[in-house]
Amino acid sequence: MEQLLQLPPSDEELVKKTLEDKNFFGELVDRYEAKLTRYINRLGIRNPDDQLDVLQEIFLKTYRNLNAFDSSLKFSSWVYRIAHNEAISWYRKKNVRPEGHLIAESEEIISFLSAGEEVADVAFDKSINASVVNEALAKIDDKYREVLILRFFEHKEYDEISDILKIPVGSVGTLIHRGKKQLANVLNPDALRI
């Protein structure tokens, strides 16, 4: 007899279960702990103790506001929005500017640089390494860095980025396009073809 494989519950199903039984919240934490740690690290919170503090605040706010979760949205977008806001709050409390230094692997950087969505007029030198891109990302405007991180390093779709940053979907594409141009200009001012 064939046994049916039971798929793990979706995030939204886990939210419903958590609202009925708070013990299920641990499963949401397990699912998102590594992802959100990586995300806040990419936003520039480097110190492991600071990361734990911010992560704890993210999960506390998530837990406290779970009843307010709009089930028409993706849970991942909602929790990333909380993470984004908590990182910004942390910077305000510490009165520091994001370091903006991404941790990215060489393959990830090459994939990012060669991604062709809406950027046919930007040419990148494929020999640029991750550390050079990391430094360049620290030099571009925050509004561009945020969308580039979410799109190319967190692999979020436009509608998710729109939900996380609370901007129109059309603006997401514009910011990505302009961000890649600005990044190309920082990497090599001659890289832009006009």
Q: What is the CATH number of the domain that holds 41?
A: 1.10.1740.10
pLDDT exceeds 60 at position 112: no
Looking at 94, 115, 134, which one is the last position of a domain?
94
Main-chain dihedrals φ then ψ at residue 11, nearest 5 degrees: -55, -45
Looking at the structure, do residues 127 and 78 belong to the same domain, yes or no? no
Q: How far apart are alpha carbons 137 and 133 in whole angstroms? A: 6
Residue 144: phi, psi to the nearest 5?
-80, -45
3 in a structural domain = no
pLDDT of residue 97 exceeding 80, the answer is no
Tokens of 64: 């406290």
Residue 99 lies in a domain: no
Q: How confident is the model at residue 133 (pLDDT cuts 50, 70, 90)?
A: confident
Are 53 and 86 found together in one domain?
Answer: yes
The last residue of one of the domains, among 36, 67, 94, is: 94
* Pairwise pLDDT comparison (149 vs 188), residue with the higher score: 149
Alpha carbons 65 and 58: distance in angstroms, whole number: 11
In a domain, 67, yes or no: yes
Residues 58 and 122 in one domain: no
Question: How many domains does the structure of the chain reveal?
Answer: 2
Q: Are residues 110 and 90 in the same domain?
A: no
Is 2 domain-assigned? no
As given in the structure block, the two tokens for residue 31 are: 């699912």
Residue range 153-164: mean pLDDT, rounded: 91
Q: Which domain-ending residue is among 40, 60, 94?
A: 94
Q: Is the pLDDT at 163 greater than 50, yes or no?
A: yes
The per-residue DSSP string of 116-174 comes to: -TT-TTB---TT--HHHHHHHHHHS-HHHHHHHIIIIIS---HHHHHHHHT--HHHHHH
For residue range 20-63, list pLDDT tens digits in order. Answer: 999 999 999 999 999 999 999 888 888 999 999 999 999 999 99
Conformation bin of residue 184: beta by default, left when phi > 0, alpha when psi is -120 to 50: alpha
Q: Do both 125 and 177 map to the same domain? A: yes
Q: Does 124 have pLDDT greater than 90?
A: no
Determine, yes or no, domain membership for 33: yes
Domain match, 79 and 129 both: no
Query: Whole domain around residue 171: which residue ranges?
Result: 106-191
- What is the mean pLDDT of the segment spanning 70-93? 90
Is residue 44 within 8 Å of 99, Cβ to Cβ? yes
Within a domain: 100: no
Look at residue 42 in the predicted model and tell me its pLDDT. 85
* Better-predicted residue by pLDDT, 11 or 99: 11
Q: Identify whether 148 is part of a domain.
A: yes
For residues 112 and 184, state if they share a domain: yes
Phi, psi of 46 (to 5 degrees): -95, -35
Is 171 domain-assigned? yes
For residues 52-75, give the mean pLDDT. 93
Residues 46 and 123 in one domain: no
User: What is the CATH number for 167?
Assistant: 1.10.10.10
Query: What does the pLDDT read at residue 46?
Result: 85
Q: Which residues contact 167 (CB under 8 A, 6 or more apart)?
A: 161, 175
> Do 112 and 66 fall within a single domain?
no
Give the residue-averaged pLDDT of 169-194.
81
